[in-house]
Structure 1
């Protein structure tokens, strides 16, 4: 089953559960499920699937609303009245009046029957819903790690309920800040505060929204985690932590995997390195640089030309030793999910990517989530470029349904309980208390370092 099919069926199941609650007083759960499945089958074979769950819900809701139980029929009068004794005639004029039958003109009788029939037919039909007002289309450019969230049918429906249709394009967060033509969009939504800050300065925008965040993490495999535990890099616990200082020692000594003591699972002649994205385009690579430069600078945030010069050789080596790197975090993480530990035993990711993959059933046994120590929080920052973009920023930050859906995609939203519930429901081990979190260098310092690393690629 493909990821898209799985996500569609999960949306159908969630919608079914919702309608069971809505119609609990009028329809049984079995009946609601039957109506939903019948509506779902109407779309079998349809090649475009993006809005199938939304359309299925509309069809099922309409049918369930229309099927109101009719009142029990009353007993009809007999066709022929039983003979009765004639009432005694009253004295006087009434006694002398002949009995008559009251007849309606034929035309009037037919009219009455037609009107009655029309009334009965109309009562049997559901009232036509009022016309749906057109949705306001709002266009945004986003970091690729949020693509699954915006394409979720439930998110699409939640925005539609507020009269909004969000159309998105994805790009690396540094690309969004530096090279994407933002005049084509209503909002920009990179994955970090520094990128958002630069867009604000460039576009002279004072407003920003940070509807959710995600700490940086490392996706690996159990044999690799066990091997690095023996090497003193990984510390086991409720969640494994990855010591950046000890890791940098292995990098500076050009340690290879097959040189690690007790290595019987990954005996390859390659340097011990974390796979990242391209530092010239991607925010996740910039976050990797922020953490490693902090540790290389004696556990201090890099600031000033001297500090930049001192850490530059090491952080450059971390990137150039990898070979090819992808523009966005979507690429290396998808390779991690599908290929295994052969090419990339450790992948630098957002925590949200791993949690989202768990909820979608993509994590296989033996896949492990580790937290770097120290780490940084990547604050997904939305910069509105006009009133429509501001509307999306406010909805993402204040609408409880959108906040809950963000948590279901692995993001830490304003309500910590939403994220905790998702992690508990899907039995994914996450760091509940993030203590060892460091600050990110200023945008200008980060740009100086990234530009210098970029030049080393030739």
Structure 2
């Protein structure tokens, strides 16, 4: 009997050792996956942190690690020598990186339009003021020209006719990120400067001087602003209307949080008229980064996951399916879309806005 027990124990021990070896080999193989490092616009941080996205890369033998930064910082001040790829939130920023690094390759796996997130009581006030309007498809638009008229006159919320929902002594202003570091603020500047310039893209010094007094104030009068787009959007989600009645966001942020069940009743997404499309361009800095760019562009699973995070991919049906499943009203046909200024023109305008900080009341 003792001999039988000994044999059984020995067999069990052998099986345990074999399982341990198999598990050990699996862990070793996982740890041996090459690490690919990238620097990304913060609006994509949730996407790269998603376990499903990490698993999709792992299937291709890649362990992708990312650091978030403001897209303007990525293009101008981040030490790119540490990374295999750079993935800012706009074409102008990607253009600058390519120019600096003399790289011709770029991948554009997805895009997202700029939007203004608000709350139904604020939307109702601004509908009465002619700023927010209902579109035929059930979405809401944000008339930038009408908004700039209010901003130019420094209209406060408590001065809006019939305002009992939000009678505060603050100027009617959209909250943004810091234009000195963040791409979403640069996209907002692209929109507002276009309208302030008589519906023309700002290009030369004369047009910059024409729009600067108004568009500069849109930023300076906000007070403190965050460096990345996640900051003000988190305030919108958690603090609410009292602090952030209007915030400039990427559409993808709103849709992605709706998929996660974090958009509450009464939260409203509006589309600026005109708007700009933020095209997320991945610039490969090394061969490993090139693999990431190719996979993001061509791998069906990664494209599906990008749509779940609110990004528009080459296959419009993916995005439509996600928004329909989660009942997120989004604009399917964006018609009034304008170009951003060239990188140099936008940088010159941003630099002029930057000089206005600390210059006293405008």
Q: Give yes or no for TM over 0.5.
A: yes
Partner of 1:148: 46
Residues 302-339 of structure 1: CA deviation (Å, up to 9, x unaligned): 11111111111111011001000000000000000000
Aligned counterpart in structure 1 of residue 155 of structure 2, from 255, 260, 268: 255
Cα distance in structure 2, aligned partners of 1:347 and 1:291:
14
State whether structure 2 residue 269 is matched by structure 1 residue 372: no
Aligned match of 1:314: 214
C-alpha separation in 2, matches of 1:389 and 1:207:
11
What is residue 225 of structure 1 aligned with on the other side? Answer: 123
1:184 aligns with 2:82: yes
Quote the Cα distance in structure 2 between the aligned partners of 1:292 and 1:220: 18
Of 194, 197, 207, 1:294 maps to 194
The CA distance in 1 between the partners of 2:204 and 2:231, in whole Å, is 33
Separation in 1 of the partners of 2:181 and 2:230? 13
Tell me the equivalent position of 2:165.
265
CA distance in 2, matches of 1:347, 1:254: 18
Q: Give distance in 2, aligned partners of 1:305 and 1:267.
A: 39
Kindly state the Cα deviation for residue 136 of structure 1 after the two structures are TM-superposed.
1.2
Structure 1 residues 35-83: Cα deviation after superposition (integer angstroms, max 9, x where no partner): xxxxxxxxxxxxxxxxxxxxxxxxxxxxxxxxxxxxxxxxxxxxxxxxx
**Residue 280 of structure 2 is aligned to residue 384 of structure 1:** no
How far residue 343 of structure 1 moved from its aligned partner, in angstroms, is 1.2
User: Hey, what does 2:352 align to over in structure 1?
Assistant: 452
Tell me by how many angstroms 1:361 deviates: 1.0
Name the CA distance, whole Å, in 1 between partners of 2:295 and 2:246: 36
Q: Name the SS for the 2:242 alignment partner.
A: coil
Aligned to 1:171: 69
Q: What is the CA–CA distance in structure 1 between the aligned matches of 2:206 and 2:328, rounded to whole Å?
A: 42
Instruction: Structure 2: state its 5+ residue gaps.
Output: 1-6
Which is greater in Rg? 1
Higher relative contact order (CA 8 A, sep 6+): 2
**Whole-Å Cα distance in 2 between the matches of residues 401 and 364 of structure 1?**
28
Q: What is the TM-score normalised by the length of structure 2?
A: 0.91
Equivalent residue in structure 2 for 1:196, among 68, 87, 94:
94
1:168-203, CA deviations, whole angstroms, 9 ceiling, x for partnerless residues? 100100011111111111101000000000000011
Task: Please give the residue correspondences for 1:7-406 in structure 2 after superposition, counting only pairs within 5 Å.
Answer: 132=29, 134-237=32-135, 238-406=138-306
Q: Aligned partners of 1:358 and 1:411: how far apart in 2? A: 13
Distance in 2, Cα, partners of 1:412 & 1:296 = 28
**Counterparts of 2:344 and 2:319, CA distance in 1:** 33
Q: Deviation of residue 240 (structure 1)?
A: 0.5
Question: 1:236, CA displacement in angstroms?
Answer: 1.3
Return the alpha-carbon distance in structure 2 between the equivalents of residues 336 and 302 of structure 1. Answer: 30
Q: Post-superposition, which runs of at least 4 consecutive aligned residues in structure 1 deviate over 6 A?
A: none
> Take 2:286 and 2:120, find their aligned partners in 1: how far apart are those partners?
47
- Once the two structures are superposed, residues 383-428 of structure 1 have per-residue CA deviations (whole angstroms, 9 ceiling, x without a partner) of 1101011110000011010000000000001111110000000000
Name the CA distance, whole Å, in 1 between partners of 2:189 and 2:49. Answer: 30
Shift of 1:128: 5.7
Q: Distance in 2 between matches of 1:455 and 1:246?
A: 27
Q: Distance in 1 between matches of 2:266 and 2:132?
A: 16
Q: Distance in 1 between matches of 2:98 and 2:129?
A: 44
1:428 and 2:305 aligned: no
Determine the C-alpha separation between the residues in 1 that align with 2:22 and 2:283: 40
Q: How many residues of Structure 1 are paired with residues of Structure 2 in the alignment?
A: 339
Partners of 1:410 and 1:429 in 2: how far apart? 12
Root mean square deviation, CA, Å: 1.7
